[in-house]
Structure 1
Amino acid sequence: MRDRTITLLVACLVLTTGCSFLAPNPDSYTSHHYYSLGVDLGGNVSDVTIRLPVPQQDGAATYNVTTLTGNGTVEGVFDATVVETDRGPMLELTADEVTVEPRYYRFVVEGEMGRRERISESEYDPSDPDHQQVDRRSVGLRADQQVEYPIETQAPLGASPTLYADDAVSRELTACGPTSMESATCFAYDAPVYLSYEAGSDVRVTGVVSVEGSNEWFAGGWTGNSYVDRVRFSATGAQDGWARFEGETETGIGSYPAPEP
């Protein structure tokens, strides 16, 4: 009786394991490219032209302005278009003027959850630790493309979309950050960004732009691998043209190899 019980138990385990791998359907293998952009304005700016890289492959943009913004604007603050430059394709953001006005919030706790609620200037109490004044304006977008599985994530340069072509920047092998996976390989480079606007000497404009490529599959649970190419910029006062900022490419993030569907 004991031997029969053990045999049945093993059979159940094999059946359960088998079912977990039989469960996937064609949707269990997916690949995506994600593009995100954020600009943070610390004060009023005028006569604005900002050019930030868009994903490219073989020198051609993999997004157009419609797939990025829908209506050709970013949150109604900037007009947007994709332009060709000698540094590669860029998303050009323009505006006659962007005004940054203080906004006021209070933190509200409801049960075990908290949220931030906007309030008027007259309600704002600077001595109240649950009140907050925000003197910056943040603008951003995120776009998603589903593409054929799998994409190249271990050696994406030239094989998958990145922010700059190989001949536009010089990537150098560098140490990955403390939160990176052991499988990752990292590169650093100087990234050209175009900033042109009038602003007060203390007005700081910062931002980040990135493209991420990701494969996901189901094998008893969801897993995957990815790469990310990212540029951060920060400038204070008026700007009038091209400048170089910090770029980083992190490849080989996750589980390898990606299985065939």
Structure 2
Amino acid sequence: MSLWWEEKKLEVYNSTSKESYYYLIQITTDSPLSNVTFYMPLPMLNNTSSVGQNIINSTYDNQRVKWETTFVETEHGPMLSMRTEKIEPKFALRGDGPDTYPRAVDFAIIVFSNDTIDTRNPVGNAEVLMPRYNSTNLGTITNYRNAISYSYDSRIYAHYEASPDANVQIYIQLEAQNEWWIGGAQSNSYRELIITDFSGPQDGWVIVNGGLVTGEGTYLNE
């Protein structure tokens, strides 16, 4: 009975599983930016990026900003080059007003994988944000027995013209997930986050801090 059930679970898992990468960049500014170029960390595995390739092959004409995107080889490895002539700030009311806040420019894509993603040990086995330096294991997360948190350094190249008091925030998120259905929806995942702030015009590389949490969720046969 036990062997039959394990085989049945594997059969159901294989027929219902779905693996995906979700990559999001948000750029928020309270002032106009012109002649804009960013080199952004990109999900990579062995110097290749299915996420990046899908970005390059897609069009974003319906976006608030018209981006030119391509791969660029840098001193820190391959990265995502994002260029545009200008970014104009847009504001929304905070609650009932009258205070406002700048709205982010969103740039997002979901890419499905044909293989199960290694969400426990993704570095070197799955697409993770690169470049990555000085990775530090911060220990387990209490929510899940398998979850481990890491911090690391990465790089962003930023060039744009702006007023001295311009404030810009860059938010980068990656989530990789395996989903399946056995007696209900189940999943496991890892997620990464980079958030950094800029003031005034920019022209060069910036060291940014990243966070990675691995092993969240449930795992088959556990």
TM-score (norm 2): 0.82
Question: Are 2:120 and 2:214, in contact at CA under 8 Å, matched by a contact in 1?
Answer: yes
Question: Are 2:45 and 2:124, in contact at CA under 8 Å, matched by a contact in 1?
Answer: yes
Question: Are 1:68 and 1:141, in contact at CA under 8 Å, matched by a contact in 2?
Answer: no
Partner of 2:133: 169
Partner of 1:92: 81
Partner of 2:164: 201
Question: Are 2:177 and 2:188, in contact at CA under 8 Å, matched by a contact in 1?
Answer: yes
Matches of 2:46 and 2:11, distance apart in 1: 38
User: 2:173 is matched by which residue type in structure 1?
Assistant: S
Partner of 1:141: 107
1:89-128 equivalences in 2 (<5 Å): 89-102=78-91
Q: Give the deviation of 1:176 after TM superposition.
A: 6.0
Structure number, greater radius of gyration:
1
Q: Give the deviation of 1:84 after TM superposition.
A: 2.3
Matched, 1:213 2:201: no
Query: Which of 169, 180, 198 is 1:235 aligned to?
Result: 198
Partner of 2:6: none
- CA deviation profile, 1:43-93 (whole Å, cap 9, x unmatched): 111221111112111112223465467225681414231222222322222
Q: Give the deviation of 1:243 after TM superposition.
A: 0.5
Matched, 1:155 2:144: no
- CA deviation profile, 1:126-179 (whole Å, cap 9, x unmatched): xxxx234535241112211121242111001110000115xx42211114677x
1:40-79 equivalences in 2 (<5 Å): 40-64=28-52, 66-67=54-55, 70-71=58-59, 75-79=63-67
Matches of 1:249 and 1:231, distance apart in 2: 9
TM-score (norm 1): 0.71
Matched position secondary structure for 1:227: strand
Matched, 1:39 2:55: no
Matches of 1:188 and 1:74, distance apart in 2: 35
Matched, 1:253 2:216: yes
Matches of 2:46 and 2:90, distance apart in 1: 42
Query: Which ranges in structure 2 are unaligned for 5 or more consecutive residues?
Result: 1-8
Q: Give the deviation of 1:247 after TM superposition.
A: 0.5
- Shifted more, 36-45 versus 134-143: the winner is 134-143
User: 1:28 is matched by which residue type in structure 2?
Assistant: T
Question: Are 1:68 and 1:143, in contact at CA under 8 Å, matched by a contact in 2?
Answer: no
Matches of 2:97 and 2:217, distance apart in 1: 41
Please give the root-mean-square deviation of Cα atoms over the aligned residues, in Å.
Answer: 2.9
- CA deviation profile, 1:8-30 (whole Å, cap 9, x unmatched): xxxxxxxxxxxxx7995854211
Question: Are 1:54 and 1:91, in contact at CA under 8 Å, matched by a contact in 2?
Answer: yes
**Identity within the alignment, %:** 25
Matches of 1:181 and 1:156, distance apart in 2: 17
Question: Are 1:213 and 1:228, in contact at CA under 8 Å, matched by a contact in 2?
Answer: yes
Matched position secondary structure for 1:63: helix
Matches of 1:88 and 1:95, distance apart in 2: 22
Question: Are 2:26 and 2:105, in contact at CA under 8 Å, matched by a contact in 1?
Answer: yes
- Shifted more, 92-101 versus 27-36: the winner is 92-101
Matches of 1:197 and 1:84, distance apart in 2: 20
- Shifted more, 229-238 versus 56-65: the winner is 56-65
Matches of 2:62 and 2:157, distance apart in 1: 17
With over 3 angstroms needed to count, the CA separation of the structure-2 counterparts of 1:80 and 1:183, relative to structure 1, is same
Count residues in correspondence.
214
